[in-house]
Amino acid sequence: MIAKQPSESVFVSIRGLRYHCRCWGVAGSPLLFMLHGWMDVSASFQFLVDALTGNWRVIAPDWRGYGLTDRGRSDCYWFPDYLADLDALLAHFEPERAATLVGHSMGGNVASLYAGARPERVGTLVNLEGFGLAESDPGHAPERFAGWLRELARPRGFRGYASFADLAERMQAANPRLTAERAAFLARHWGEIDEDGKGVRLRADPAHKIVNPVLYRLAETEACWRNIRARVLWVQGAQSDTPHRLGLSEADLAARRACFRSLVLRTLPDAGHMVHHDQPAALARAIEAFLLS
């Protein structure tokens, strides 16, 4: 069994949805909230949790429409809902103290925006590859809204897989650093048996594929970042292709990091975008050293 630390599933009612949270560690230990990225699930943090050496209570929700959490009530997903869901989760699990958030990719972006919107609720923030998005051109708004309307009218779906092994192979093709053992573990959580029992489908609402009709406004995001009072650990993979895909130069990344008033930068060697899969031990050391400093 690849998982060293057993997890338990806790379900809570959050904003009308049955929310699934995967929890590790002993109740009463210091809390770490781990927030997964787009097209991922809470079990993604298993390898990172296994590498932690301290006594922590880790709580990792499946965002709405992912994993074992209910799907959203509308026909597409709105980014502000993740902030409101996080606010409700923190009110449930840690209402009295400023929280420690560890967010990957989309989860890192959600955590960073939330820490700026509710600075008193976040004491420490670990941002894993949550760089924000490319600046948008307001002139593209008509085209974006039109594209969104077209996508709403189309049938949606993800490709299926013949088996969990087939899904694991696809995950390794996307990330060559992912070992076969880790891929097999993740496939069992990322996928589920299809309704006809003949294949495997992703545990995700296909509505996540619909384009966001609201253009990304970098100035608004930077205003949130500047309002953060928490200490911030910014982690990026040395071989990550995410900045390139977003059209961000090193100067762009430096300008974004400069928005945070208290930031420590760590770059992990031999790691891509999925730093918690590629180098969980090195990442755990970096996180715990930061938390205990």
Sign of CA dihedral 269, 273, 278, 280: positive
Q: Which residues of 237-274 are buried (b: 16+ CB within 10 A; e: fewer)?
A: beebeebeeeebeeebbeebbebbeebbebebeebbbb
Q: How does pLDDT run across 63-87, given as a tens digit for each residue?
A: 999 999 999 988 999 999 999 999 9
Q: What angle do CA 6, 275, 61 make, to 5 degrees?
A: 45
Residues whose CB falls within 8 Å of the CB of residue 146, separated by 6 or more in sequence, listed in order: none
Q: What is the pLDDT of residue 198?
A: 85
Look at residues 80, 79, 87, 65 and name the one whose alpha carbon lies nearest to residue 17.
65
Cα–Cα distance, 182 to 205 (Å, whole number): 24
The single-letter DSSP state of residue 238 is T
pTM: 0.96
Domains of the chain, each with CATH number or no CATH: 7-135+216-291 (3.40.50.1820)
| Share above pLDDT 90 across residues of the chain, in percent, rounded to a whole number | 94
In the chain, the N- to C-terminal Cα span, in Å, equals: 33
Cα–Cα distance, 106 to 89 (Å, whole number): 17
Whether residue 266 has pLDDT greater than 60: yes
Q: How does pLDDT run across 160-169, given as a tens digit for each residue?
A: 999 999 999 9
The single-letter DSSP state of residue 231 is E
Q: Are the CB atoms for 167 and 174 separated by under 8 Å?
A: no
**Over residues 248-274, mean pLDDT:** 97
**Over residues 127-136, mean pLDDT:** 96
